[in-house]
Amino acid sequence: MSIFDILDITGVVAFAISGALVALRKKLDTFGVFIIAFATSVGGGTLRDILIDKPVFWIENVHYFYPILLGVLLAIIFRKKLRYLSRSLFLFDTIGLGLYTIVGTEIGINYNLHPIICITLGTISASFGGVIRDILCNKIPLIFKKEIYATASIIGAIVFLILSHYKLDQRICYIFTSFIVITIRLIAVRFNLKLPTFYTTAKI
């Protein structure tokens, strides 16, 4: 198993836990928890694969169901210990964001796509599972609010492209890129850094 595969599976587990925590907070039943975890884990990657006409990764490899199931079980078993669900959700969501940014961007590179498309694929992979999760749970997705979420993914994808261009060791590219994305997200939340919004009082 390559480092890329390990990152991919780790991202799946992290997003599965993230989705399961949201579902548990919404008091969904066991089936609902699994569905939300599944959508969170594979939603962004599914959209990415459809856009580049690539076989959808979890259909091509059914073994992805196992890490999703693992994430759901971990969230359910340790739900009482994860008393501060919002903090736990933030942690696993941030880890998934960092890892899936790398996965999506590298797939774009392997397909010899334009750098802008590679960045877009990395951002879609990392962010849109959370978008689907929030929509299914009747929440406004983080990516559409003031929080620095997709922005962290975009910056991470750019860093990964630069490091890959200079042929740095693969492990260094992976570690440094995930560190950048996670750090930006942590700093943004810690210091309440947000993107500007523009409000209007005009009636539509």
Residue 10, domain member (yes or no): yes
202: pLDDT strictly greater than 70? no
Distances from the Cα of 32 to the Cαs of 18, 22, 40, 106, in angstroms? 14, 11, 12, 32
In a domain, 196, yes or no: no
pLDDT at position 1 is 77
User: Does 201 map to a domain?
Assistant: no
- Tokens at residue 126, please? 């990392």
Integer angstrom CA distances of residue 152 from 69, 103, 104, 188: 28, 15, 14, 9
Q: Which residues contact 33 (CB under 8 A, 6 or more apart)?
A: 20, 23, 24, 72, 75, 76
**Per-residue pLDDT, 204:** 54
Whole-number pLDDT of residue 89: 79
Q: Per residue, what are the HEC states of the chain?
A: CCHHHHHHHHHHHHHHHHHHHHHHHCCCCHHHHHHHHHHHHHHHHHHHHHHCCCCCHHHHCHHHHHHHHHHHHHHHHCCCCCCCHHHHHHHHHHHHHHHHHHHHHHHHHHCCCCHHHHHHHHHHHHHHHHHHHHHHCCCCCHHHCCECCHHHHHHHHHHHHHHHHCCCCHHHHHHHHHHHHHHHHHHHHHCCCECCCCCCCCCC
pTM here? 0.91
pLDDT in tens, 4-19: 888 899 999 999 999 9
Distances (CA, A) of 188 to 17, 45, 147, 149: 22, 25, 8, 9
How far apart are alpha carbons 40 and 38 in whole angstroms?
5
Establish if 197 belongs to a structural domain. no
Please state, in angstroms and rounded to a whole number, the distance separating the CA atoms of residues 123 and 100: 8
* 159 located within any domain: yes
For range 57-80, the mean pLDDT: 93
Domain assignment present for 174 = yes
pLDDT of residue 19: 94
Per-residue pLDDT, 66: 96
Higher-confidence residue of 147 and 15: namely 15
Residue 84's pLDDT band (boundaries 50, 70, 90)?
low
Give percent of the chain with pLDDT exceeding 70: 95
Tell me what the pLDDT averaged over the chain comes to: 91
Asked if residue 203 belongs to a domain, the reply is no
Domain-located, residue 8: yes
- pLDDT per residue as tens digits for the range 108-140: 999 999 999 999 999 999 999 999 999 999 998
144 pLDDT band (50/70/90 cuts)? confident
State the residue range of the domain holding 40. Answer: 3-190
Q: How many domains does the chain have?
A: 1
What confidence score (pLDDT) does residue 197 get? 75
Percent of the chain at pLDDT above 90? Answer: 76
